[in-house]
Chain A
């Protein structure tokens, strides 16, 4: 059992490969999380325009990406677009797919946050002479973000986990590297090592979230 799943020789041999994957996962996350947040912010700001011509297309957009599996989106960009003469490469495809997919999720969360700030706050801010944009940036958004911080954190955790999809389009992140090491060594140890790395990296976040969520639900 130990020889198969925790083989020390293979851990040592595959460590540099797996470690390179870990750094790429970190880099990828540092790119796609802000990208998704940016996309979500655009959607949330658009949603604060209560006009039906904005509201319905926006809702359809968000629901579409809630319904569409991110892997299908990724494959569509990676394998479908070259037929239209557009080859983006795995890394760019992941970035675009995450911008669209996780942007929709972040957008929903931020919209709920903005809705949770009482209208009186905006009215008060506007009456002191702040512009609509200033009121949003300095008064509404800071409170909105604070109100939905657990949801934002929870979605960020999902986004970091989702970067493992990059392995399907040959982005050399943690899972991809581990599978490479596995096929070289004919031993599943590198994948176990990758799983342990994910767990060690993300467990503290899960613990924190579970506390925050319990408090939020129990506090009603």
Chain B
């Protein structure tokens, strides 16, 4: 066997790949489920916190800032491990899937709250005053005047963060979530061949590369013309 044949036989072994393809595909499904859950709940919670903060209740705002800072300073893997290995000591045993989802949703919540808040505060005070003086209520001003302007400003940092945090679903493998990396790793140790890992890597590229390219496009489209 030539070097190249040996390389292909080791890293791109057709037989092994065919055998473990269903496992990897089921991993893809779990990764997509996890990613969607994280994005939806994380962004919703982040927006909710930013809106709460705009009410301007002092003690509440301190609490929000503390929670946001907490989840911005802790490494996501530490939060996952803490929830998964720590909570069972008090008789709560979240699965690996739930631990990963909660951890990354909290992290995305923290980052997106900061971004949403920065967007809201960036809308000049005069806009608020003008809107209110035309007779719009606080809620109407927020939804019809402030948020549309704020969103535009927040899109580029938001897409970046969301992608970076969603990629973190791979961390679930540490707490036995059967997502792509988890499936690929166990297939690799069962077959004693790295081909499943190569498949898993390819699956991540197929899944996330279009998202990154789309994000570039969205960023360019929403960028403020200065």
Contacts and interface: CB of A to CB of B under 8 A. Distances in A.
Nearest to A215: B118
A50 interface: no
A46 interface: no
Given A164-B75, A164-B78, A210-B114, A63 B213 contact: yes
Interface stretch (A32-40, A64-72, A120-128, A131-139): A64-72
Interface string B104-132: 00000000001001110110000000000
B77 interface: yes
A192 B122 contact: no
Contact of A188 (B82, B114, B170): B82
B114 A71 contact: no
Interface in B63-95: 68-70, 72-79, 81-82, 85-86, 89-90
Interface stretch (A12-20, A89-97, A140-148, A201-209): A201-209
B181 interface: yes
Given A84-B10, A161-B75, A217-B118, A206 B81 contact: no
B191 to A, nearest CB: 11
B77 A167 contact: yes
A66 B185 contact: no
A59 B20 CA distance: 32
B188 interface: yes
Contacts of A188: 82, 85-86, 89
Interface stretch (B44-52, B53-61, B134-142, B202-210): B202-210
A24 interface: no
Contacts of B74: 161, 195, 198-199, 202
B224 A76 contact: no
A72 B200 contact: yes
A188 B163 CA distance: 31
Does more than half of chain B's interface fall in helix, strand or loop, or is it mixed?
A: helix
How extensive is the interface on chain A, given as a class?
35 or more
Contact of A71 (B10, B68, B119, B173): B173
* Listed residue (B73, B119, B194, B201) with the most chain A CB atoms within 10 angstroms of its CB: B73
A53 interface: no
Interface in A28-77: 63-64, 66-72, 75-76
B41 interface: no
Contact of A83 (B10, B76, B185): B10
Contacts of B151: none
Contacts of A171: none
Interface of A: 1, 4-5, 63-64, 66-72, 75-76, 79-80, 83-84, 157-158, 161-165, 167-168, 175, 179, 182, 187-188, 191-192, 194-195, 198-199, 201-203, 205-207, 210, 213-214, 217-218, 220
Interface of B: 7, 10-11, 68-70, 72-79, 81-82, 85-86, 89-90, 114, 117-119, 121-122, 153, 163-164, 167-171, 173-174, 180-181, 185, 188, 193-194, 197-198, 200-201, 204-205, 208-209, 211-213, 216, 224, 226
The 3 A-B residue pairs whose C-beta atoms are closest, nearest first, are: A67-B208, A188-B86, A202-B73
